[in-house]
Amino acid sequence: MAAPAYSEDLTDIDLAESGSTGVAVNYSGGGGAAPAFGADLGMQGGGCWDRQVSAHERGVVFNQSPGAGAVATGVHIFQWGFVATPGITDNLATRGAYLICGTGTNATVQFHVEGNDTYGAAGRVGRCYSYRYVTTANTGSVPYRTVNGSPGATPTYFGFGIKTTASAKGANMGCDAVRYGTGAYLTAGDSGDPATFDGFATQNDLIGNRWGILTNVGGSYELQGYFVIGQNNSKTATLAYFDDSDVNILIADTPHTEDDFTRILIDHASTEVYWNNISITALGTNNPGLFSVLDSSATVEITGGTWTGLGTATFSVGCVCTGVTFRGCDFTFANSASFVGCTWAKASNISAVSSSDLSQLDGCDFISDGTGYAVSISGTISSDVAMSWNCTDSGYAATNGNTGNETIGCSVDSGKTLTINVGSGGSTPTIRNLGLGTVTVVSSKTLTLTDIPTGVQVTIVNSSTRTELQNSTSTGADITYGHSGGETVDILLMHNSYDPNASDIYDLTLPSSDSSIKFSMTDDLNFDNP
């Protein structure tokens, strides 16, 4: 058996232990003692560097030289900070609590992360914050940043600070471990000992580690940064076996990161991933989290769960999603994956799903918020092609047009025809065709006739032309008739023992949905069979 391997690519800048040197940064006044090492407010390792901040604005930084690696492409800084007096911090906009990064104590950027208006009753006063180092101010809205002096491009000072509006009785601010990197990397495992979310989180949360990537928060797991299944921490594709159930993942709100910082990635051709009832919720909008299957040969089976507010989700041919709900998410790129009984509700982009073939969607449901397609057919259709559709939709445009809220968006070349065959259980989609070709929707609905006794001859004819559409003899089982809706028909029942005038149905307009009719037969008292 191959035990799962849980690793990360974080590089220590300073772990804020007793051998470190915490340097004071005073943005306003004295207001408290000098920095000192202690265990009281420690979050990682043996303790942290803390200080008293009393009715002033102060922090602690560590002078280190990690070099260009701390600002390399995709890399972010992970900084631990603790506030013992959240009630006397200033608000978020005016630097209640902030990360410090720069090239000198007088050349820093303050990245605002908390305040008395964000901590609240459930706010965590000690946590790991992630950010991408930039040297520009942003004072009008989130993400708030304050620049002091002229910080350079490659930072050498890293820390944490707070601004308080009243006196503090003792050390009330702690600055702990700071690292840089991208996140988590999981490999190995097998069906008897698979990799799991809890397996990584257990390593993440060890006091000697406290990586701050996937943190257990009251039974759920808060994720920031990469979570890669099928790569080692050198980012080389390496097979993994991952199997987990009944887990809630929260994508941390990280206003100071790049918008694609948090990613769940699956790699390597032999990787197998099995998720059952895994729910993912984005807590913010700047970095809502991405999902992507990098290797088309990987086996990915996802059953159940609700994904809320997530960014783009990119699947591949080896993926099967069954009963997953995507609520308020960005694009889903199908890429030949199969989706069975899934729901997309109020997608945030111009389309809920991008797919080359509608047949990849089986019995799915789409709910519009008034803008965007349910499905956009990727690419241009340059040959005659037929696709099946058995999905349902609500809230989309009622007729074909150019509103951008039709059920299906496509582009069919001039002289070519896309035929969409609507199967049983599917609603008739509306179409927006951006090309010069033709889209034909063939809607096949089912009329079910029930409670017809054995031996009764059942004939369905067009009410106007009297053309026979179907003729059968009942065996006692339900009789079904497939149609495209809209036609007006008569249903004629004939048997010597039953009165046809009491059972026949005339001028029935077939609906554009599945329907059924229950018959109640009346004995023919006038029939004489000598």
Q: Please report the domains of the chain, with CATH numbers, ordered by start residue.
A: 9-179 (2.60.120), 182-349 (no CATH), 446-518 (2.60.40)
Give the pLDDT of residue 185. Answer: 99
Three-state DSSP state, 199: helix
Q: 3-state secondary structure string, 456-473? A: CEEEEEECCCCCEEEEEE
Give the pLDDT of residue 525. Answer: 67
Give the pLDDT of residue 423. Answer: 84
213-222, 291-300, 467-476: the lowest-pLDDT one:
467-476
Give the pLDDT of residue 271. Answer: 98
The per-residue pLDDT for range 303-335, each reduced to its tens digit, is 999 999 999 999 999 999 999 999 999 999 999
Mean of pLDDT over the chain:
95
Positive or negative, the Cα torsion across 502, 504, 510, 514? Answer: positive
Strand partners, 418: 385, 439
Distances from the Cα of 510 to the Cα of 139, 179, 304, 466, 514, angstroms: 63, 67, 36, 16, 9
Give the pLDDT of residue 443. Answer: 79
Is residue 326 within 8 A of residue 295, CB to CB? The reply is no
Q: What is the spatial distance between Cα 22 and Cα 100, in angstroms, rounded to a whole number? A: 13
Q: What is the spatial distance between Cα 215 and Cα 224, in angstroms, rounded to a whole number? A: 9
The answer to whether residue 211 scores a pLDDT higher than 60 is yes
Q: DSSP state, 159?
A: E
The per-residue pLDDT for range 157-200, each reduced to its tens digit, is 999 999 999 999 999 999 999 999 999 999 999 999 999 999 99
Is residue 292 within 8 A of residue 273, CB to CB? The reply is no
Give the pLDDT of residue 527. Answer: 57
- Predicted confidence band of residue 208 (pLDDT cuts 50, 70, 90): very high
29-38, 85-94, 145-154, 414-423: the lowest-pLDDT one:
29-38
The answer to whether residue 29 scores a pLDDT higher than 80 is no
pTM, rounded to two decimals: 0.87
The answer to whether residue 261 scores a pLDDT higher than 90 is yes
Give the pLDDT of residue 476. Answer: 92
Give the pLDDT of residue 529. Answer: 53
With a pLDDT cut of 70, the percent of the chain lying above it is 98
Give the pLDDT of residue 30. Answer: 65
500-513: average pLDDT: 86
The answer to whether residue 501 scores a pLDDT higher than 80 is no
Q: Are β-strands 468-473 and 457-462 bridged in parallel, bridged antiparallel, or unpaired?
A: antiparallel
- Burial class from Cβ neighbours inside 10 Å (0-12, 13-18, 19+) for residue 415 reads exposed
2-6: average pLDDT: 96
Give the pLDDT of residue 414. Answer: 97
| Single-letter amino acid, residue 527 | F
Give the pLDDT of residue 144. Answer: 98
Give the pLDDT of residue 124. Answer: 86
**Element holding 8 (H helix, E strand):** strand 5-8
Give the pLDDT of residue 89. Answer: 97
The answer to whether residue 463 scores a pLDDT higher than 80 is yes
| Single-letter amino acid, residue 103 | T
The per-residue pLDDT for range 117-164, each reduced to its tens digit, is 999 866 789 999 999 999 999 999 999 999 999 999 999 999 999 999
The CB density around residue 340, as the number of other CB atoms within 10 Å, is: 15
Structure tokens at 295: 């290797």
346-354: average pLDDT: 95
The CB density around residue 360, as the number of other CB atoms within 10 Å, is: 21
Q: DSSP state, 67?
A: G
- Predicted confidence band of residue 482 (pLDDT cuts 50, 70, 90): confident
Structure tokens at 29: 């006044």
Is residue 305 within 8 A of residue 324, CB to CB? The reply is yes
